[in-house]
């Protein structure tokens, strides 16, 4: 008989977050455990017998339509443009068999037309400091996200992306501090500044921009960053989100880079000022109020 249990013990990658949430729920009079044993699938057990199942990367806080929007980057950017929220300039490229969606967010093209489109939209491609970000239209945790400096690199990574995804995006690389603003029920609950990723340091070819971060007191966070994050959160109809925001050259106006409907906190695991237990308590209360 095939077993669907992943492992016999909680994954080390999930252990800390799992335990913090488990304790937080216990303090509120309910039990949380993991039927999958590794901590990825989670179950809340209420005293009256009710159960809520969820996964480690998807707390039961957002509605399905908001999650769907946030998961699709092109749809996300279209919503942000409609709401007057600044995003990086870029282009979208599609696999030929995928229906091309007509939106205002990105000029759209097929892979075979990519070279001419890149030269048109990024005329500074021959500059010594030229950089663009290339990434899949869906996905999370920085999977297949890369920094490219030449047309050859862009074309190569674009082909790789279309082996796994229907479309991808090429966006301007914006220099400046990047922040993650985590929002719950319209209220920012934590903000941290991302540090340079391994890729940006030239140390790793499987990047997540901002592998580590340093938490900032909300009262000391840049006003423009907080405000645009709240606008993006509201525009997508999310209850719980992580909004990535950049201040180009450390000067307003701010630009929204990404919207995440299930933000994690791995980037803060080495930040001694980050109170994971307190955050788990806030999240647990919000889940039970759903």
206-260, pLDDT tens digit by residue? Answer: 444 445 788 899 999 999 999 999 999 999 999 999 999 999 988 999 999 999 9
Has residue 29 got a pLDDT over 60? yes
Residues 63, 241: Cα–Cα separation, whole Å:
12
Helix (H, G, I), strand (E, B) or coil at 55: strand
In 150-275, which ranges are continuous DSSP H helix?
151-162, 223-235
> Edge to edge, what strands does the sheet with 213-216 contain?
213-216, 187-194, 178-184, 240-246, 255-260
Residues 60, 19: Cα–Cα separation, whole Å:
17
Domains for the chain: give ranges and CATH numbers: 12-55 (no CATH), 64-72+175-288 (3.30.470.20), 89-172 (3.30.1490.20)
Has residue 7 got a pLDDT over 70? no
pLDDT of 93-121, one tens digit each? 887 655 455 555 555 566 677 888 888 88
Could you tell me if 35 and 10 are in contact, meaning their C-beta atoms sit under 8 angstroms apart?
no
Percent of the chain exceeding pLDDT 70 equals 82
Q: What is the pLDDT of residue 2?
A: 47
Q: What is the pLDDT of residue 14?
A: 61
**Side-chain-side CA neighbours of residue 63 (13 Å):** 6
Has residue 1 got a pLDDT over 70? no
Provide the pLDDT confidence category of residue 60 given band limits of 50, 70 and 90: very high
Q: What is the pLDDT of residue 116?
A: 84
Q: What is the pLDDT of residue 204?
A: 44
Nearest residue to 193 (alpha-carbon basis) of 220, 212, 219, 174:
212
Residues 217, 172: Cα–Cα separation, whole Å:
29
Average confidence (pLDDT) over 35-62: 89
Has residue 167 got a pLDDT over 60? yes
Q: What one-character DSSP code corresponds to residue 125?
A: T
Q: What is the pLDDT of residue 200?
A: 54
State the Cα angle at 207 between 201 and 211, rounded to 5°. Answer: 75
Q: What is the pLDDT of residue 10?
A: 54
Q: What is the pLDDT of residue 196?
A: 67
Residues 196, 186: Cα–Cα separation, whole Å:
28
Q: What is the pLDDT of residue 189?
A: 94
> Edge to edge, what strands does the sheet with 108-110 contain?
108-110, 90-94, 167-172, 132-136, 146-148
Burial class (CB in 10 A: 0-12, 13-18, 19+), 79: buried
Could you tell me if 169 and 148 are in contact, meaning their C-beta atoms sit under 8 angstroms apart?
no
- 164 phi and psi, to 5 degrees? -120, -20
**pTM reported for the whole predicted model:** 0.86
Q: For the chain, what is the mean pLDDT?
A: 84
pLDDT of 129-149, one tens digit each? 899 999 999 877 778 899 999
């Amino acid at each position: 008989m095939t077993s669907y249990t992943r492992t016999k013990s909680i994954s080390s990658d999930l252990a800390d977050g799992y335990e913090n949430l488990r304790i937080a729920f216990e303090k509120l009079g309910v039990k949380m455990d993991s039927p999958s044993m590794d901590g990825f699938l989670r179950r809340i057990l209420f005293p009256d017998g009710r159960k809520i199942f969820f996964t480690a990367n998807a707390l039961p806080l957002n509605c399905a339509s908001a999650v769907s929007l946030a998961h699709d980057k092109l749809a996300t950017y279209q919503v942000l443009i409609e709401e007057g929220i600044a995003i990086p300039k870029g282009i979208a490229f599609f696999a030929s068999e995928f229906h091309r969606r007509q939106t205002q967010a990105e000029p759209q093209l097929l892979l075979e037309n990519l070279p001419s489109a890149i030269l048109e939209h990024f005329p500074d491609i021959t500059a010594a400091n030229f950089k663009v970000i290339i990434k899949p239209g869906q996905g999370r945790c920085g999977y297949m996200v890369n920094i490219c400096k030449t047309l050859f690199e862009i074309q190569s990574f674009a082909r790789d992306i279309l082996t796994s995804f229907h479309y991808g995006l090429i966006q301007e690389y914006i220099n400046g501090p990047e922040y993650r603003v985590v929002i719950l029920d319209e209220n920012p609950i934590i903000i941290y500044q991302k540090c340079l990723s391994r890729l940006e340091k030239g140390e790793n070819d499987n990047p997540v921009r901002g592998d580590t971060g340093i938490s900032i007191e909300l009262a000391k966070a840049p006003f423009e960053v907080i405000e645009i994050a709240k606008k993006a959160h509201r525009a997508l109809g999310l209850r719980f989100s992580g909004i990535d925001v950049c201040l180009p050259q450390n000067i307003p106006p701010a630009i929204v880079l990404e919207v995440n409907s299930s933000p994690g906190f791995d980037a803060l695991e080495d930040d001694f000022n980050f109170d994971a237990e307190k955050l788990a308590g806030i999240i647990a209360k919000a889940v039970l109020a759903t």
